[in-house]
Amino acid sequence: MAEDAPKHDLLPFMGLYAKNDKNGNLMLTGRLGVVRVIILKNTRKKEDKHPDFNVLLAKAEPFKPAGQAPAARPAAATAPDDEY
């Protein structure tokens, strides 16, 4: 076994990037193939049984060849009104 091999069975799945939404709240974003993953802190949580974070999925913009300007990004996401 190589010396630098991990000593656990965990596998890297995807990277997430910390950003702020339009209200200044922390959000995590990443890309998983053709899906954009957005994780938002649940700012409407009122009880322990409500989730701490909401995970949203959106269609990701296609990858652009190197040297080509990226498409304009949509406005920062916010949690749907019906989420707790």
Whose structure tokens read 């974070």?
53
What tokens appear for 13 in the block?
A: 């799945």
Q: Span 68-83, mean pLDDT?
A: 61
The set of long-range contacts for 46-54, using a CB threshold of 8 Å and a minimum separation of 24, is 46/84, 47/84, 50/84, 51/84, 54/79, 54/80, 54/83
pTM: 0.64
Q: Span 68-84, mean pLDDT?
A: 60
What tokens appear for 10 in the block?
A: 């965990």
Q: Give Cα 24 to chain centroid, integer Å.
A: 16
What proportion of the chain, given as a percentage, has pLDDT over 70? 74
